[in-house]
């Protein structure tokens, strides 16, 4: 089974079970997850939920490789995102305590399975990122909601760059709720299952974080349109690699992500997921998505041929057209 469900005492335990794929979420897993969560929400014998990943990692994201390889006639490009985003909202509205174990990689769709729960346990190995601009897509699963609400434009920074946060950064930004040393995880899980409580550990101390040190500079630079942001970075004391990092991303994804997070600030989660779903149904059919998935996940050349290739060639009217309301309804 690619996803396992069990009830231990009064706790519903969900285990993502695709360790060879870093527990990437596919549509079958998402459907079973949703059905079980709905059942447990009404079951008086279930007091709480625990979500974890098998192996060294929590979840590297949605199985976008399978989405890319699917025939357009299969409707997977529609149904996967429909199912995934509805599950994100179901987790947000789940009426009982919901805890996720953020061990190892927590990215993209894995964030969506956990960020809207009550407790997110960060450990020494945790790596958090929203890396979608590298594959011709955008930070989804409610990214327009939770990234837009981070202070000092840190959310936009994360969405545009795909920067990987370490444990200390995750805790400082309050994306995670608790820290647990990796060797104490089993004890923490046992306590949560048996008592519904979470053991507190002292926050870890890591080397100084470049983003925490440069919060004010990031706030200043990551404001305005994409070209303005790049100009500010180029003329700032931020690492030169940051400028190169962003200019290597998909140009259309950068413009779309900037607009998405700007619009998300004023929307509810339901409205954000609706906006993201409509946007997904335009982005997945673009050649950039195919190029990005192939370059990063299939051929692994990491040399996609973006279209348009340059930021200056992006049609702003086309970007705005992606956000026009259409007949795709999520809720």
Of all residues in the chain, the percent with pLDDT exceeding 70 is 97
pLDDT at 210: 80
Mean pLDDT of 91-106: 98
Tens digit of each residue's pLDDT (9 = 90 or more) over 274-312? 999 999 999 999 999 999 999 999 999 999 999 999 999
What residues does 14 pair with on adjacent strands? 5, 51
Q: Domain check: are 266 and 175 in the same one?
A: no
Residue 4's φ and ψ, nearest 5 degrees, are -115, 145
Q: What is the pLDDT of residues 167-212, one digit of tens each?
A: 999 999 999 999 999 999 999 999 999 999 998 887 766 566 888 8
Give Cα separations from 228 to 76, 251, 300 (angstroms): 37, 14, 31
Catalytic annotation present for 313: no
Domain that holds residue 252: 210-320
Q: Specify the pLDDT at position 89.
A: 98
- Same domain as 175, residue 40: yes
pLDDT averaged over every residue in the chain: 94
146 part of a folded domain? no
Same domain, 75 and 183: yes
Question: Does pLDDT of 327 surpass 70?
Answer: no
**Taking CA 246 as the corner, what is the angle to CA 249 and CA 108, rounded to the nearest 5 degrees?**
60
Query: Per-residue confidence at 213, pLDDT binned at 50, 70, 90?
Result: confident
Residue whose entry in the numeric block shows the structure tokens 């996609």: 304
Tell whether 53 and 22 lie within a shared domain.
Answer: yes
The single residue of 61, 117, 136, 140 carrying the catalytic annotation is: 140
Write out pLDDT tens, residues 137-147.
999 999 999 99
The catalytic residue among 62, 110, 112, 142 is 62
Q: What is the pLDDT of residues 4-23, one digit of tens each?
A: 999 999 999 999 999 999 99
- pLDDT at 100 exceeding the cut of 70: yes
Asked whether residue 117 falls in the same domain as residue 184, the answer is yes
Q: Which residue has the tokens 């996940």?
A: 297
Q: Binning pLDDT at 50, 70 and 90, where does residue 227 land?
A: very high
- Indicate left, alpha or beta for 46 from its phi (over 0: left) and psi (-120 to 50: alpha): beta
| Cα–Cα separations (whole angstroms), residue 130 to 43, 162, 329 | 34, 5, 24
pLDDT at 67: 93
The pLDDT, as a whole number, for residue 27 is: 98
Contact 317, 256 (CB under 8 A): no
Give the pLDDT confidence of 245-282 residue by residue, as tens digits: 999 999 999 999 999 999 999 999 999 999 999 999 99
Distance CA 300, CA 157 (A): 25
pLDDT score of 208: 67
Residue 120 in any domain: the answer is yes
Asked if residue 157 lies in contact with residue 218, where contact means CB atoms within 8 angstroms, the answer is yes
State both tokens at 281.
């149904």
Buried b / exposed e over 110-125, threshold 16 CB at 10 Å, is bbbbbbbbebbbbbee
Confidence of residue 103 (pLDDT cuts 50, 70, 90): very high
300-307: which pairs have CB atoms within 8 A and are 24 or more residues apart? 304/136, 304/250, 306/136, 306/250, 306/251, 306/252
Residues 118 and 180 in one domain: yes
Distance CA 42, CA 292 (A): 41
The pTM score is 0.96
Instruction: Decide if 62 is catalytic.
Output: yes
Helix or strand holding residue 8 (H, E): strand 3-8
Query: What number is the average pLDDT over the span 78-93?
Result: 97
Grade residue 238 by pLDDT with cuts at 50, 70 and 90: confident
**Count of structural domains, the chain:** 2
pLDDT the model gives residue 212: 86
- Structure tokens given for 88: 């994100």
Say which CATH number the domain at 57 has: 3.90.226.10
Domain match, 185 and 47 both: yes
Catalytic residue among 63, 132, 276, 288: 132
The catalytic position among 12, 61, 108, 109 is 109
- Domain membership flag for residue 160: no
């Amino acid at each position: 089974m690619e996803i396992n469900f069990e009830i231990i005492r009064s706790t519903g335990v969900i285990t993502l079970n695709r360790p060879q794929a870093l527990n990437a979420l596919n549509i079958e897993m998402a459907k079973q997850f949703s059905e079980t969560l709905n059942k447990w929400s009404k079951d008086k014998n279930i007091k709480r939920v625990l979500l974890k990943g098998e192996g060294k990692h929590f979840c590297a994201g949605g199985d976008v490789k399978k989405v890319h390889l699917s025939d357009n006639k299969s409707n997977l490009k529609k149904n996967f995102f429909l199912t995934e985003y509805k599950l994100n909202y179901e987790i947000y509205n789940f009426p009982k305590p919901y805890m996720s174990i953020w061990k190892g990689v927590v990215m993209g769709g894995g964030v969506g399975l956990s960020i809207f729960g009550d407790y997110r346990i960060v450990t020494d190995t945790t790596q958090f990122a929203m890396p979608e601009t590298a594959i011709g897509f955008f930070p989804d699963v409610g990214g327009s909601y939770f990234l837009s609400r981070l202070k000092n434009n840190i959310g936009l920074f994360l969405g545009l760059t795909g920067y990987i946060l370490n444990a200390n950064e995750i805790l400082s930004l309050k994306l995670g709720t608790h820290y647990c040393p990796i060797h104490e995880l089993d004890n923490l899980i046992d306590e949560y299952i048996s008592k519904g409580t979470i053991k507190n550990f002292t926050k870890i101390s890591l080397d100084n974080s470049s983003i925490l040190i440069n919060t004010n500079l990031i706030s200043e630079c990551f404001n305005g349109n994409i070209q303005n942001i790049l100009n500010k970075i180029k003329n700032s004391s931020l690492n030169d690699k940051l400028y190169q990092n962003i200019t290597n991303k998909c140009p259309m994804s950068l413009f779309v992500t900037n607009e998405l997070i700007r619009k998300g600030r004023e929307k509810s989660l339901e409205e954000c997921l609706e906006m993201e779903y409509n946007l997904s149904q335009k982005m997945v059919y673009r050649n950039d998505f195919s190029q990005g998935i192939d370059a990063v996940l299939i051929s692994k050349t990491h040399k996609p041929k973006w279209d348009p290739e340059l930021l200056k060639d992006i049609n702003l009217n086309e970007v705005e057209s992606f956000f026009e309301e259409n007949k795709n309804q999520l809720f």
